[in-house]
């Protein structure tokens, strides 16, 4: 599986620990945002949610598009990272797809989310990446 995300618009979501507490809900302990786009990110809401579209990657596991909602309650900005407190990933098919590992991460393509385009794009294309930087290819 190939994907192409311009470095300028590359956002990474990392975490220290993944906690599966109930069906469809995963806590991302120690969650933070990184990547080149961080220097362009405007002040974020303390409590918010974004939709991550994994449809191209997870199509083999789910009967519908796989759009997970990442929510948080608390944000701390540093020059190179944005820390998200109480980060949670939700989707009704979450337990039908492979579990996240603590050293996996997500790459998000933010190119259509600049101020003049954001309102026309309701989700962010997202890809689950292995620790070494390789995209998971679930199609075999």
DSSP letters, 43-109, are PPPSEEEEEEE-HHHHTTT-SS--EEEEEEE-EEE-SS-EEETTEEEE-TTGGGSPPPPTT-EEEEE
Q: What is the pTM of this model?
A: 0.87
Tell me if 42 is assigned to some domain. yes
Cα–Cα distance, 27 to 47 (Å, whole number):
15
| 69-101 residue pLDDT tens | 999 999 999 989 999 999 999 988 888 788 899
| 11-64 residue pLDDT tens | 999 999 999 989 999 999 999 999 998 988 878 899 999 999 987 776 667 666
Tell me if 80 is assigned to some domain. yes
Domain count, the chain: 1
Query: What is the residue range of 88's domain?
Result: 7-129
Tell me if 73 is assigned to some domain. yes
Cα–Cα distance, 139 to 58 (Å, whole number):
9
Tell me if 140 is assigned to some domain. no
Looking at residues 101-122, what average pLDDT do you find?
A: 74
């Amino acid at each position: 599986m190939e994907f192409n995300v311009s470095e300028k618009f590359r956002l990474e979501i990392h975490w220290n620990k993944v906690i599966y507490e109930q069906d469809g809900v995963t806590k991302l302990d120690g969650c933070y945002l990184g990547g080149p786009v961080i220097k362009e990110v405007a002040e974020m809401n303390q409590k918010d949610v974004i939709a991550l579209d994994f449809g191209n990657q997870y199509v083999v596991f789910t009967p519908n598009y796989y759009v997970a909602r990442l929510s948080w309650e608390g944000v701390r900005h540093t020059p190179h990272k944005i820390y998200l407190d109480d980060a949670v990933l939700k989707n009704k098919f979450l337990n039908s797809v492979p579990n996240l590992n603590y050293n996996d991460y997500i790459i998000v393509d933010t190119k259509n989310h600049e101020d003049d385009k954001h309102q026309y794009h309701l989700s962010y294309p997202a890809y689950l990446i292995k620790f070494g930087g390789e995209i998971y290819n679930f199609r075999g």
